[in-house]
Structure 1
């Protein structure tokens, strides 16, 4: 397996096939990340916890550019997400992907994704709670404090957090 020059890429899938594509990638030994979070739903008065896709029709892969044909040839995959149509797939910086994955994996609150142009916030690191160690920006969004992680390719991921749980990052 190729280990150097690997990058994270966003892959577009057919509707309702994200889990199948994830399983195909796992069988092919392609490192992947499908962002899901627990979500409470009510059906006939009964509460149940289900996994919710954070970004429908998208899965992330960590591959060398030579492995792109394997990914494209996987059943139910449309293509890679590109910043400019017709150009090569756009890699996602490793640090952004690491912070995004950490937020998804460890947040007990719903992660909000937005393409809004949110002004830069104060660079912080979470000092306590389940997101301890997460680097991001402290911003006010919809009247509440949120920690924000920017992912250049598709916008911002935010999760609400008390302002006393973060500390300003040293420059």
Structure 2
């Protein structure tokens, strides 16, 4: 059964999953025919007896669905999904551009780190060169001359990106 509507009312929505259920919830949504996106970050994990490369969700307990508002109930009935994310009392919708930017970040060879600190708004920028060219974000902090902390709107978290400060334009 395909849930995603074919009209222009479809939007990206962030959803919160049960703890450590992101991959199972994603698989269940895809099986239902829902367009979903789960950004995974590849990391080397060290145990006492071995090392192993694993794919972990970039943002713990989050994934994104592209649906019409009328399909929210069906998404909530999916195993592993806890709730939609709300901002100002409404289900948060994200512009397509933000998901495209997130996909671009994930496709780059940059090392990404996500932080959920309560950060204050700063200056809006656009990256002007390199694999992240065109991404628009908000500078939260300069960690060093080559490391910026950026916030993507409506995501509820910030991403630390390694990009030279000389490669950004202030908007």
Q: TM-score, normalising length from structure 2?
A: 0.80
Matches for 1:127-166 after TM superposition, within 5 Å: 127-128=129-130, 130-137=131-138, 140-144=141-145, 145-146=147-148, 148-164=150-166, 166=167
Choose which of 56, 63, 79 in structure 2 pairs with 1:59: 63
> In structure 2, what is the equivalent of residue 168 of structure 1?
169
SS of 1:109's equivalent in the other structure is coil
Count of equivalent residues? 166
Residue 127 of structure 1 deviates from its aligned partner by 0.6
* Alpha-carbon separation, structure 2, partners of 1:99 and 1:149: 12
Q: Which deviates more from structure 2 when the two are superposed, residues 155-164 or residues 56-65?
A: 155-164
Residue 46 of structure 1 deviates from its aligned partner by 4.1
> In structure 2, what is the equivalent of residue 110 of structure 1?
112
> In structure 2, what is the equivalent of residue 41 of structure 1?
45
Q: Cα distance 1:142–1:118, how it changes in 2: closer, same or farther (>3 A)?
A: farther
Q: Cα distance 1:100–1:115, how it changes in 2: closer, same or farther (>3 A)?
A: farther
2:24 counterpart of 1:23 = no
Residue 163 of structure 1 deviates from its aligned partner by 2.5
SS of 1:117's equivalent in the other structure is coil
2:7 counterpart of 1:3 = yes
* Alpha-carbon separation, structure 1, partners of 2:141 and 2:78: 41
- Structure 1: gaps of 5 or more residues: none
Q: TM-score, normalising length from structure 1?
A: 0.80
SS of 2:70's equivalent in the other structure is helix
After superposition, what is the alpha-carbon deviation per residue over 1:116-139, rounded to whole angstroms, capped at 9, x for unaligned?
3244235222412x3344333456
Q: CA RMSD in A?
A: 2.5
> In structure 2, what is the equivalent of residue 70 of structure 1?
74
- Structure 2: gaps of 5 or more residues: none
Q: Which deviates more from structure 2 when the two are superposed, residues 155-164 or residues 62-71?
A: 155-164
SS of 2:87's equivalent in the other structure is coil
Please say if residues 8 and 61 of structure 1, whose CA atoms lie closer than 8 Å, have aligned partners that are also in contact.
Answer: yes
> In structure 2, what is the equivalent of residue 98 of structure 1?
100
Q: Which deviates more from structure 2 when the two are superposed, residues 117-126 or residues 3-12?
A: 117-126
Q: Cα distance 1:15–1:137, how it changes in 2: closer, same or farther (>3 A)?
A: closer
Residue 76 of structure 1 deviates from its aligned partner by 2.0
